Amino acid sequence: MKQLGYLEETVLLLIMTMTDDAYGFSVSEEYKNHTGKSISISAIHTVLSRLEKKGLITSAMGGASEERGGRRKRIFSSTPVGKEVIRTIKDSRQVLWSQIPDLS
């Protein structure tokens, strides 16, 4: 079972929601939109590479665009392992959720 930190978990979730358009800058923007906290692009890159090393996501070079000065982006998508891990986390949380007595 892979251990995931909070940031890693969030980023992994974000990638799953952002089908086909998850790359460094877009993930950092989504993170900001979602959590309201800003994060540097370099921090996102580090997390992405860590996730990739753990085999939870995979990447491929995607299309170039004008605003990137003609440079290609690295598009990330989750692997089956990644999905499995997220599901396990959700399940184990669910068990805990359900045992909270006074959560209306």
Partner 1 sequence: MNNSNHNPPRLATQFLRWFCAEDLIEEIQGDLEEAYRFRAKSIGTTRARIWYFSDVLKFFRPYSFEKYSRTKQYIPMVKNYFKIAVRNLIKRRGFTALNLLGLSIGMSTVLMLAIYLQHETSYDQMQPDSENIYRLVNNYRDQTYTCMFFNDYYGSDHETQMRLLQHVTNYEEVSVGCHFVPSHSSIGPNEDTYVSIGEKKFVMKDFLYTNTGQEFNEMFPQEFLQGSTSSAFSAFDRVVLTASAVEKFYGTDWDKLSLIGNTISLGDKLYQIGGVVRDVPGNVHFDFNMIVYQKSIPSWGAYTYLKINKEANIGNVISALNGEVDLVYPGYTEDVLSKGIESVPLHDIHFTGGMLYELKPIANNAYIITFGFAGIVILLIIWTNYTNLSIAIYASRQRELGVRKLLGARMKDVQLQILTEAVILTLVCFPIVWLLVYHGLPTFNDLMEVEMMREQLFQSRILMFLGFILVLTGLISGLYPAIFFSRKSLNNLFRGKLNSLGVSRFWNFRNTLLTAQFFMLVGLMSITLIIKNQMSYVQNKELGFDKEGVLFFPISGKENFHRLAAELRKLPEVLNIGNGMVPGAEMYNQLTYKMDGTEEVLSDGTHIYTSLGSMEVLGIKSDAFGILEEQDSVLLINQTAAAKLAKVKGIPVNELAGETLILEPEWENEQFGNGQHYTIAGIVEDFDYFSLKYPSQSLLIEVRSNPEWIYNVILKLESNDWLNTISFIESAYREIEPDRPFNFTFLDDHLEQLYKKEQNAGFLATFLTGVCIILAVMGLIGIVGFVTLSRQREMGIRKVFGASVYDILLTLNRSYIAMIALATALAVPVSLYFGSQWLNNFAYRIEPNYYHVFLAGVLTLFLVAVVVVIQSIRTAQINPSDSLRHE
Nearest residue to 59 (alpha-carbon basis) of 27, 87, 29? 27
1 half-sphere exposure, CB direction, 13 A CA radius? 8
Q: How many residues lie near partner 1 (CB under 8 A)?
A: 23
Strands (E), the chain: 57-64, 72-78
When asked if residue 45 is in the footprint of partner 1 (CB under 8 A), the reply is yes
When asked if residue 20 is in the footprint of partner 1 (CB under 8 A), the reply is no
Among 15, 22, 56, 73, binds partner 1 (CB under 8 A): 73
When asked if residue 71 is in the footprint of partner 1 (CB under 8 A), the reply is yes
Among 3, 17, 40, 104, binds partner 1 (CB under 8 A): 40
